[in-house]
Amino acid sequence: MKHYGLLGYPLKHTMSPPIHERLFALEGISDYDYTLKEYSEEELPEKIEDVLALDGFNITIPHKGNIIKYTDSLDDSAKRYNSVNCVVRRDGQLIGYNTDCDGFLRSIDAAGAALGGKVLQCGCGGVGRMIAIETVRRGADLTLSVPHGFEDTVEPVREYARANSLDCTITMVHPEEISGSFDVLINASPVGMFPKINACPTEERVIEKCGFVFDVIYNPEKTLLMQTAEKHGIPTCGGMAMLVWQAVVAHEIWTGASYNDADIETLIADMHKLMTNS
């Protein structure tokens, strides 16, 4: 029996158990359990042995940084962001990964979009910083739209690009200053998330000049941004894809699993249904 789980706090609305249960089923693995380790930051030191006894585990807020000191080594993905959301026990060693970046990139790739052209991203805090860095790592020329007062969130992306000699341009604008057309539009902000579903991170005049729209939000399934894009015949992808794909990468790390894209697309659709009905 192998033991896996999710460390975080709170975990009341997590989608992780049904996603991982389905992925284990697709692998044909039945001798496992997947348990929730709902420990606060204050509880973690006294509960950490319970977590580290697992064969592999996911990590969510607020422990993505806290868990690092308990690992033996970090994959480059975790080093890049000083953030771990997946740990595997391998040859007695605990290795930390960041599969959020893989989840984003695999979602884009599965949707048939490309990040190598002109990309507009709304928001650059938290997960937005990771998305922005992965985008410029793919060679995109990136325009970052941030609200007044949040200009400093762009600097870590510029610093990364300079430190790694990336051949890209990074432009910062405020939402009202966006102009031109873009190959990809990414919403990396919470604007449009349930329950404030009537909000949109940018104007329709901007959306209609984009070739593809990706929204990190997965509730609702179709944000106002995505609805507006689809009204203009623009293909979209929502955040549930990113959530599922990062879990797929965790299984690749834990068990060496492989899946076909059709099964993952079905899983994404089924998780939307489960979320809607819960």
Task: For strands 93-97 and 86-90, give the pairing.
Answer: antiparallel
Of the candidates 2, 12, 37, 64, the residue annotated as catalytic is: 64
- The string over 63-90, giving b where at least 16 C-beta atoms fall within 10 Å of a residue's C-beta and e elsewhere, is bbeebbebbeebbebbebbebbbbbbbe
Q: 151 with 217: CB under 8 angstroms? A: no
Residue type, 43: E
- What is the Cα–Cα distance from 189 to 83, expressed in whole angstroms? 19
- Six-digit token string for 67: 């868990």
149 contacts: CB under 8 Å, gap ≥ 6: none
69 is catalytic: no
In three state form, how does the secondary structure of 191-259 look? CCCCCCCCCCCCCHHHHCCECCEEECCCCCCCCHHHHHHHHCCCCEECHHHHHHHHHHHHHHHHHCCCC
Q: Which residues are catalytically annotated? A: 64
